[in-house]
Amino acid sequence: MTGPLPNQTMSLQDFLSIREFVYGRTGIFFSESKQYFLENRLNRRLQEVKLSSYREYLGLLQGAQGKEELKQLFNEITTNETSFWRNPPQIEAFQRIVLPEAAALAKARGANRLRIWSAACSSGEEPFTLAMICREAKDTLLKGLSVEILATDISEKVLDQAREGNYGSYTLRNLTPVQVKQHFDALGPDSFQVKSELKQLITFRNFNLVDYASYRTLGAFDVIFCRNVLIYFDDAVKAKVIKGFHEALQPRSFLLVGHSESIHAFNIGFDLMHFSKAMGYRKRDQA
């Protein structure tokens, strides 16, 4: 009986070759300091597909089965630490400032729906948080507007988790007991299912942010959330992604990025908005 393959050491050339491949497919750039991280993550895949070298694994990615293996690669190299109501000051700014202004703009142009894009939605906590806020405002500031939330991610694994909508208490830790009772069904002591009325507001879809030509297939949005993603891109990819967001937004609409991320160096038409302990961007009026 054949035992497990020994862990393989990733040479610098292996690392550079795989890094180039990953960058070309995802825009994610790994510095040399991340070689051990990539080796550690991909060693598991080598074991599972029973390959003895990273060179063979790169050949698998580039071959006929590459498209399917690429999905597994995404699952290994993407980080998906998240929670409901993550970065509360920014979520509260969305609730108190961004959403009311976006709704007013939509109504002013005669629209009957409000569209929000949660880009890189991970396992669903962000879009469900936005859905909770919209659901609570449906009879007040959103009266007369339907809400559509598009939630996208590059990883099929986390999208499956998001569609299921089943969460433990730790990821709900920022919610109040009232919010948990209102928006979830308790399945057990540490298992909570998102209620169907929230799920109905969200469409989950696989999407690669470096597939720039496909942005136009998504339609136009009133708000885009893309938090804690730009940090994985180099400057060239950041500039193209931000350009794609700019073109996907309705006039004077909103882009919210991670609290440690700035688009100042790549700004092609956004004005910075200062909130209490948070910030965001607004698409600038064209001259």
Q: What is the pLDDT of residues 117-156, one digit of tens each?
A: 999 898 999 999 999 999 999 999 999 999 999 999 988 8
91 pLDDT higher than 80 = yes
Sequence-ordered list of residues with C-beta below 8 angstroms from that of 262, at least 6 positions apart, any chain: none
Label residue 80 by pLDDT band (50, 70, 90).
low
Q: For residues 164-180, give the mean pLDDT.
A: 91
pLDDT at 81: 66
Task: Mark whether 127 and 229 lie in a shared domain.
Answer: yes
Q: For residues 6-30, give the mean pLDDT.
A: 85
Between 100 and 46, the more confident residue is: 100
137 in a structural domain: yes
pLDDT in tens, 213-237: 999 999 999 999 999 888 888 888 9
pLDDT at 45: 86
Give the strand pairing for 278-283 and 249-257. antiparallel
CA 136 to chain centre: 23
pLDDT at 267: 67
Label residue 3 by pLDDT band (50, 70, 90).
very low
Calculate the average pLDDT of the chain. Answer: 89
Question: Which domain range does residue 237 map to?
Answer: 88-283
Task: Mark whether 43 and 127 lie in a shared domain.
Answer: no
Percentage of residues in the chain having pLDDT higher than 90:
53
Percentage of residues in the chain having pLDDT higher than 70:
95
For helices 66-77 and 156-164, the axis angle rounded to 10 degrees is 70
The token pair at 79 is: 């980080």
168 in a structural domain: yes
Label residue 6 by pLDDT band (50, 70, 90).
low
Query: Could you identify the residue written with the tokens 């862990």?
Result: 7
- Say if CB 226 and CB 195 are below 8 A apart: no
pTM value? 0.85
- Say if CB 150 and CB 207 are below 8 A apart: no
Between 204 and 46, the more confident residue is: 204
Task: Mark whether 204 and 65 lie in a shared domain.
Answer: no
What CATH number does residue 53 fall under? Answer: 1.10.155.10
Task: Mark whether 115 and 26 lie in a shared domain.
Answer: no
What CATH number does residue 202 fall under? Answer: 3.40.50.150
pLDDT at 73: 84
Distances (CA, A) of 276 to 94, 145, 167: 11, 27, 29
Q: Name the domain count of the chain.
A: 2
Task: Mark whether 155 and 201 lie in a shared domain.
Answer: yes
pLDDT at 79: 66
94 DSSP assignment: I
Task: Mark whether 223 and 157 lie in a shared domain.
Answer: yes
Q: For residues 9-25, give the mean pLDDT.
A: 89
Kindly report which listed range (158-162, 239-243, 258-262) carries the lowest average pLDDT score.
258-262
Task: Mark whether 48 and 105 lie in a shared domain.
Answer: no
